[in-house]
Structure 1
Amino acid sequence: MKVFGFYKSKKYLQRVMFSITATMVIVLVASSVSNTYVLEKTVKSIQEESNLKVLSQIQYNLTYMNEIISRLSNFAYRDHFLIPLMFNETLPKMDLIRGHRQMSNIMESSSFLHSMVIYNQAQSELYGSSSNFLLDDGVTKEKIRRALLDPSHPQPTNRLIPMSLEQSDGRIDTFAFIVTDSLKPFSNIQSAIILFIKSDWVFDSLKKMNVASNRDQGDIYIQTQDGQLLTSDPLASFMSDQDQAHIKELVQEDKSSGSRMSGFVIGDLSGEKEMLTYMEDGIGAWTILYIQSYSKLMEQVTKARNQSLLLSGLFLLLAVGMSVWLSYKLYHPIENMIKRIKPHLPDEKQDGSASFDELSLMSDNFMKLSEKLSEISSEHIVSQYYIRRFLTDSQLFSHHDMQHLIEKHELNISVKDQLLVCVMRIDNFAAYDSSITGTSKKLYNFAIVNIAGEVMGRYYPCEAVEVRGDHVVLILSQIVQETPSPFAQVTPLLREVQDTIERYYGISLSCGISDIISQYPFLSTAYSQALRLSQYVIVKGHKTIIASEDIKENLASKQMSLPDAIEKKLTEALKKGQLTNAGNELEKAFSLIAGFHYEDIIRAVSNLAWVIKNTAADIHENRIISFSDDMDYIHQITQEKETLEEMYLSLLSVCAKICEGQRPANMERNEMMLETVKELIEQKFPDMNLSQQSIATSVKLSSAYIGKLFKENYHMSITEYINEVRLNHAQLLLEQDNYTISEIMDKCGYANQSYFFRLFKGKVGSTPKEYRMKKSIS
């Protein structure tokens, strides 16, 4: 009952549970019904196709039987022994005897014949071959006359006509087949041969087809044009006049609806549902029917449907259980939220037995909280505005006005104790500003303000506000118990704020702490002082806390620029390529700069950058071989770097690049000379007189000197290099052009063929001819 009461009291849970359960039930029921429908439809389709195949075979058999009988009847019609029996007005006894004997012979040669009768129109007489016909005192003859010789009911020729010759109950025992000299319907005005076919011969074919196709669950019938059903089974169903008329009606309706010769019909016969497949025999005389019990045919379908319904029922139970479990899982967060907001609800809604909609309840509570938050937010915006005004324009307010505003807006600033201002700046703000999106910046600023306010607020009355996006300002009020040493806990608490922000957000903060003030109008002065102190992170480094006593030497310093000697020595070291000396001078310069005022620090570093750039320009202008190094970025160092250490390393890196480009002048001259030698060889290699001596003469140097210098730099002699260039060119000519070997030697500067062959084989490993042949094949 408790469980039922729990679910009953939760309207949203009821909706979720009902929706999931109803969805599962609908899906399972629809799946089961559709599967059963598809299965039944598939079985019907397969059964119809199978039945039509069987009926097509039966149709073929009946057509084949009709052809056999037609051939026999045509043969008999032209028999000269039977012609007298058909056409003579007076029949001699010998012709009669010969005719009877011939009919007996035909009967003996055809096992499917029941009997044979010849009608003589001139005599209006029937001559038969069977014993019944001859010995029953004309009873059979009279049956034939009534059935076939009635002028008012002409009979079709060359077709099987069902008849009852021997059965007194009218059941079909034979089929008549009339043959005349025309295709017109037969009556007593023309002679004819009438063959009587055994009914068993016809119906046995139907039986064999039904058994062969394993179709003992249904019955095969032949329907005549007047709707009569023919079958060999004396106990066959649907033989009543009412069933035969209903079958005829069903078949005719389906035929007329689609103008087709075969089809598939389901209807009620003898009080039961039956499936009826029909097909015309091909000559328009009969319709072949196959009637099956629908319940037997669909027995497997019914069994499958029952099993499917049973499984669906089991799955429904499982689905209900899962829906309850899933609903509660989905509802669990809402339940937890309801538990959390219940203590803040009115008394009438805290009663768990009360009927309420959870979402409406939370919506109402959310709207109330939103209204309250809006009020708080509006008041917070106003409070933040006045705090910023106090920090920037406090001198515009009187002591009384500021005290009134503080009390009116309930600012957490003491109106009677001493105050302290702290500025917390984000280190590497340029990189932070370019890599963080606007939304993330707001989140981080919000986090810094709240964490700083919460940490500092544990010990001091504190107001925190974000200013210009790059720093946060804290206004701290002194507490009474700190009278001997006011604000003693500020530095440890600021360190805690720095560690917390860096640990959670990866943001480094540096802090500036103003001097203690006792009057509100001095807030602007204290803020400016704290902001200026925070700039001295350039000297102290990132994540430092700076008070005025920490940089008193900088504030007291009178030096504003570097001595000229340092800049001069730095310039000389750079021009000489002496990185060690340049680094020493740079280190001396930054040691002095670290004691300057902030503005003088920036100016001194900028001057150093100009000195280094001008020196690089002088070196670049006076060098024989210039070195490429972009020096424009050197002026951005003071803007991109925040500490002297970073600036020092950047300028030292520039000095290293300049010194690396400084090499002795003779090395440059040797490089130029060797490059000239290589260019001469690559231009004049076809000249047979090209040699080390001729090259030395061209460059105005001794042959020994130029040979030694070339060997030291390229680890090969000039002669070896000449041959290397010539042989490389010879390879190209052998691969690409159709020059003769002599022409190639001439173009490459060789006069002696054996010498050329020896050098070529030494380089390539084959003679020029072999090399050309190999390349042409590949």
Structure 2
Amino acid sequence: MKAYGYFTSKKYFKRVLFSIMLTMALILTGLSAVNTYLLERSVKNVQEEANLKVLTQTQYNLSYMNEIIVHLSSFAYRDNALIPLMFSSSLPKMDYIRGYQQMYNMLESSSFLHMMSVYNATSGELYGSSSDFLVDGGTTKSSILQWLLHTNDSLPASRLIPFSFSNSNGIDAFAFIVTDTYRPFTPDQSAIILFIKPDWVFESLSKLNGTGNGNTGDILIQTSSGQLFESGDSSQTFNQEDIGRLIRNDNAGEPSESGFVIGKAGGQKVMVTYLRGIGDWTILYMQPYKQLMQAVSDMRTRNLMLTGAFILISIGISIWLSYKLYGPIETMMKRILPHMRNIQEPSPRSRSELDAMSDVYEQLSGQLQEISSEQIVRKYYIRKFLTDSRSLSEMDMRQLIMKHELQLAPSGPYMVCTLRLDRYDEYERRTSPEMKKLHSFAITNITKEIMSQTFGCEIIDMQQDHFTFILSGMPLDIAVIKPLIADVQQVLDRYYSLSLTCGISDSTGQLNQLSSSYYQSYQLSQYSILMGYQATIEAQNIRTNLDNKQKSLPDDVEKKLSEAIRKGKLTDAGSELERAFDILAKLQLEDMRRAISDMAWIIKNAAADITSNRITHLSMDVERIPLLPQDYYTLDELHMAFLSLCTAICEEAKPSSMERNEMIIETVKELIWQKYADYNLNQQSIAATVKLSSAYVGKLFKDSCGLTITEYLNDVRLSRAQDLLLKEDSTIMEIMEKVGYGNQSYFFRLFKSKFGSTPKEFRIKKSIS
């Protein structure tokens, strides 16, 4: 009862529980259904392939039998002993005996012959060879004559025809009519009729089918008129109209030589595989669908049982998982319910636990909005003091401090400090907006907590790359302030991996001077380029820079640096760089940045000049050199970056003789591959292109590659000709011209020397192979 009461009182818990249970049940049921569907589809595909193999073998057997019968019938029709039986109006007794003896001999010599008959059109007589024909009182004879003379459809000659002595749908034999023409048989023609046993066809077929998966069926033959014939031992009777309808529906689009269809026939579901046979026959393979899909049905039953078992297990897991997921919500409800005003614990018929928490949120939201509005006003006036203090009178500023309870002394003194994020561009790229909000909260609260222990402090996020705080109170001793700022920097670095540089303004006694102090502190914080990361910078630390009137680097420094780079003199370039950075360290901030940018352009122009005078380009991206100062934030980093850049340029500016030779050889090869189709391409033209002597280029290429330029050119041309002979239908003369040869005998001689055959012989051999 306790568990039931707990369950009924927790509306959100019930949602979680039923959602998980329903999801798991749907997934398990869906997987079971999909698995069964895929299995049934796979069984159908495998069965179709197996059935087509069976029918293909049947078609082969019938075709083979037809071929044998054609040869035998030709021999029988020209046999001298059988000719009197076919054409004599009055048959002598000896001719009658010889004819019957010859038919008997043919039956004995052929295991597949069931019976042989001769029809004499002149006398209308039919002679037969089997014992049934002679002793059954004329039943067999009349059946054959009825079939020959009174069949509505024309009987084709020299073709196997399914035949039943009892006029049933079963196949007693295959009849083969032989006349003196290939036209359909007519009663005014004499003919020999061979009756072939069907047993060996169906028996071999049954053996072939029985070696498969055990899903045996029945083989039927359908004529063009739609009549069905089956083996005498067929397991069941099939409805001719139903089977014809299934096959016609499957061929409603484009008729095909073979097919696979499932449908109703004779009151049961069957699988029909069909294949066009000899002439107008269609060979059918009929299988009961239920028998074929027995394994699928068994698998479906097992899947249902397993799915049911897993659903029961999933119910237990769902209950356990729901309790786990609901635990934090239940804990939260226990904590907030005692403090909720005018809110009762949710009942199962009204509101859920989340509704109750939503009510609490609305109450708290109203209180937070009141607090937030006051905070917004406070931040606005602090930012106004820092950016536009001259627009306010001293009296107005003191009144605002008192009204909004700002932690500032009304009468001063004041000092403004700016905390600036080091490597801000990098920080901006790798930090998510949510993390930036967290960092802003941490910087403002940690700074205010540490600084407020000694001074009045108000801090504001300036929403760029820095935070600014105002200190007030007596006395503002820089010796006390700097250790506190160092504590702030260490805490933020330890817990948030944030590096901040602090600029400290001069002390002022007037509130309307706060804007000037803010500008001074921000400018000082940017001198981290000189002082390094996490520095605390006062005006006296950079007094030399502030008093320096020099605006740029001396011209001789820039000129010597450029010349050293162009000449590949790394030592001289390093010396000039060191001299340049010594001068940079004494410039004012804006002049320093401008001079660094100018120096980057000097290096870029020197590298561009080197590239324009070389066969190959420098490995570095020359166009990106002016952007290098954006990737580094201190003079030390920039010095090392420029030094590494100059080192790389100087090392590549003086390639060794081996590198130069390799470049010449690769250039020659590239020229040959690009211009091999040019008749005039030779060693002299190549040497002129690379602006070297022909003898020097030839010797250099021979020593390096082991063959002359002419030999390499011929190899390229002949290889290309070989590819064109295989892939194109162009004439040999056209291909010869495409690869740069103008003399046919010379081309044939070179081609045969390389490949062992002429181009024509090569193409013929490849086409045959």
TM-score of the superposed pair, with normalisation by structure 2: 0.56
SS in 2 for 1:38: helix
Q: Check 1:233–1:141 CA distance in 2 against 1; reply closer, same or farther (3 A cut).
A: closer
Q: Give runs of aligned pairs for residues 19-58 of structure 1, distance below 5 A.
A: 29-58=29-58
Residue 604 of structure 1 and its aligned partner are, at CA, apart by 13
Distance 2:215 2:705 in 1: 82
Question: What is the CA deviation profile of residues 196-233 of structure 1, one whole-angstrom value per residue up to 9, with x for unaligned ones?
Answer: 33343443343343335565522222334454443444
Structure 2 counterpart of 1:699: none
Instruction: Identify the range of structure 1 (357-366 vs 150-159) with the bigger mean alpha-carbon deviation.
Output: 357-366
State which of 369, 379, 384 in structure 2 corresponds to 1:371.
369
Map of 2:619 onto structure 1: none
State whether residues 220 and 231 of structure 1, in contact with CA within 8 Å, keep that contact through their aligned partners in structure 2. Answer: yes
Q: 1:503 aligns with which of 491, 505, 508?
A: 491
Specify the code of the residue in structure 1 equivalent to 2:121: Q
**Percent identity over paired residues:** 41
Query: Which residue number in structure 2 is paired with residue 66 of structure 1?
Result: 66
Given the superposition, is the C-alpha separation of residues 633 and 603 from structure 1 closer, same or farther in structure 2, using an over 3 Å criterion?
Answer: closer
1:484-563 equivalences under 5 Å are 499-505=487-493
Q: Give the match for residue 474 of structure 1.
A: 471
- The Cα shift of 1:296 comes to 2.6
Distance change (3 Å), C-alpha of 1:511 and 1:349: farther
CA contact (8 A) 1:266 1:273 kept: yes
The one-letter code matched in structure 2 to 1:464 is E
Contact 1:157 1:183 in 2 (8 A): yes
Equivalent residue number for residue 347 of structure 1: 342
1:181 maps to amino acid? D
Deviation at 1:59, TM superposition (A): 0.9
One-letter code aligned to 1:147: W
Are the counterparts in 1 of residues 28 and 311 from structure 2 also a CA contact under 8 Å? yes
Matched, 1:115 2:115: yes
Q: Structure 1 CA distance, aligned partners of 2:83 and 2:461?
A: 134
Aligned residue type for 1:142: S
Supply the distance in 1 between the matched residues of 2:152 and 2:306 (Cα, whole angstroms).
Answer: 67
Please name the residue that 2:197 is paired with: 198
Residue 62 of structure 1 and its aligned partner are, at CA, apart by 1.0
**Contact conserved, 1:464 with 1:472, CA < 8 A, in 2?**
yes
What does residue 88 of structure 2 align with?
Answer: 88
Question: How far did 1:348 drift?
Answer: 1.9
How far off its partner does 1:253 sit?
3.0
Q: Tell me the SS of whatever aligns to 1:348.
A: coil
Which residue of 259, 279, 283 maps to 1:283?
Answer: 279
Distance 1:605 1:465 in 2: 27
CA displacement 1:605-663 (0-9 Å, x = unmatched):
96999xxx9xxxxxxxxxxxxx97858966964968xxxxxxxxxxxxxxxxxxxxxxx
| Cα drift, residue 194 of structure 1 | 2.4
The alignment status of 1:464 with 2:461, answered yes or no, reads no
Give the distance between the partners of 2:437 and 2:291, measured in 1 at CA.
78
Cα shift at 1:89:
1.8
Counterpart for residue 382 of structure 2: 384
Paired residue type of 1:474: L
User: Within 5 A, what are the aligned runs for 1:296-335?
Assistant: 296-308=291-303
For the 8 Å contact 1:52–1:277, the answer to whether it is kept is yes
**Contact 2:161 / 2:175 at 8 angstroms: preserved in 1?**
yes
State the alpha-carbon separation in 2 of the partners of residues 191 and 280 from structure 1.
Answer: 31
CA deviation string 1:245-266 (max 9, x = no partner) = 3223222332444312321111
- State the distance in 2 between where 1:348 and 1:31 align: 46
Structure 2 letter corresponding to 1:473: I
TM-score, normalized by length of structure 1? 0.55
For residues 460-508 of structure 1, the C-alpha deviation after alignment (integer angstroms, 9 at most, x for no partner) is: 8x453569978643345xxxxxxxxx99999989966753554335668
Counterpart of 1:99 in structure 2 is 99
Shift of 1:142: 2.6
Shift of 1:97: 2.4
Partner residue in 1 for 2:177: 178
Q: Is the 8 A contact 1:223 1:289 kept in 2?
A: yes
CA distance in 2, matches of 1:444, 1:144: 106
Q: Which amino acid aligns with 1:293?
A: P
Unaligned runs of 5+ in 1: 477-485, 516-521, 536-540, 547-597, 614-626, 641-774
Instruction: Report the CA distance between 1:44 and its aligned residue.
Output: 1.7
Letter in 1 for 2:296: V
Q: 2: distance between equivalents of 1:256 and 1:441?
A: 69
Q: Is 1:252 aligned to 2:248, yes or no?
A: yes
Q: Tell me which amino acid in the other structure corresponds to 1:246.
A: D
Task: Judge conservation of contact 1:276–1:290 (CA < 8 Å) in 2.
Answer: yes
| Separation of aligned partners in 2, 1:408 and 1:130 | 132
Q: Distance in 2 between matches of 1:149 and 1:435?
A: 103
Go from structure 1 to structure 2 and tell me whether the alpha carbon gap of 1:153 and 1:346 turns closer, same or farther (over 3 Å shift): same
Native 8 Å contact 1:150 1:187 kept in 2: no
1:764 corresponds in structure 2 to: none
CA change 1:61–1:336 in 2 (3 A) is: same
Aligned Cα root-mean-square deviation (Å) = 5.9
CA distance, structure 1, for counterparts of residue 586 and residue 381 of structure 2: 39
- Name the SS of the counterpart of 1:289 in structure 2: strand
Report SS of the residue matched to 1:258.
coil
Shift of 1:192: 1.9
Q: 2-side partners of 1:601 and 1:185: how far apart?
A: 120
Distance 1:133 1:178 in 2: 18
Is 1:79 equivalent to 2:75 in the alignment?
A: no
Give 2:639's aligned residue: none
The Cα shift of 1:88 comes to 1.6
Alignment partners' CA distance in 1, 2:399 and 2:24: 67
Q: CA deviation at 1:273?
A: 2.0
Structure 1 CA distance, aligned partners of 2:81 and 2:585? 135
Corresponding residue for residue 415 of structure 2? 423
User: Given that residues 423 and 513 in structure 1 are in contact (C-alpha distance below 8 angstroms), is that contact kept between their aligned partners in structure 2?
Assistant: yes
> Offset at 1:161?
3.9
* Residues 99 and 511 of structure 1: CA distance in aligned 2, closer, same or farther (over 3 Å): closer
In 1, the alpha carbon distance for the partners of 2:85 and 2:187 equals 15
For 2:467 and 2:450, how far apart are their aligned partners in 1?
20
- Alignment partners' CA distance in 2, 1:433 and 1:155: 98
C-alpha separation in 2, matches of 1:35 and 1:294: 19
Q: 1:376 to 1:62 in 2, by over 3 A?
A: same
| Deviation for aligned residue 1:602 | 5.3
1:427-464 superposed Cα distances (whole Å, 9 cap, x missing partner): 9x89899998799999989767655654576688x453
CA separation of 1:297 and 1:632: change in aligned 2, threshold 3 A: closer
CA shift for structure 1 position 410:
4.1
Q: Name the amino acid aligned to 1:219.
A: D
Shift of 1:129: 2.9
| Post-superposition offset of 1:275 | 0.8
**Is there any run of 5+ residues in structure 2 with no aligned partner, and where?**
494-498, 524-530, 555-574, 590-702, 707-769
Separation in structure 1 between the aligned mates of residue 82 and residue 153 of structure 2, nearest angstrom: 26
Q: Distance in 1 between matches of 2:358 and 2:71?
A: 94
SS state of the match for residue 150, structure 2?
coil
Contact 1:387 1:465 (8 Å CA) reproduced: no
Cα shift at 1:124: 2.1
Cα 1:407–1:275 change in 2 (3 A) is same
> Does the C-alpha gap of structure 1 residues 287 and 458 become closer, same or farther in structure 2, counting only changes over 3 Å?
same
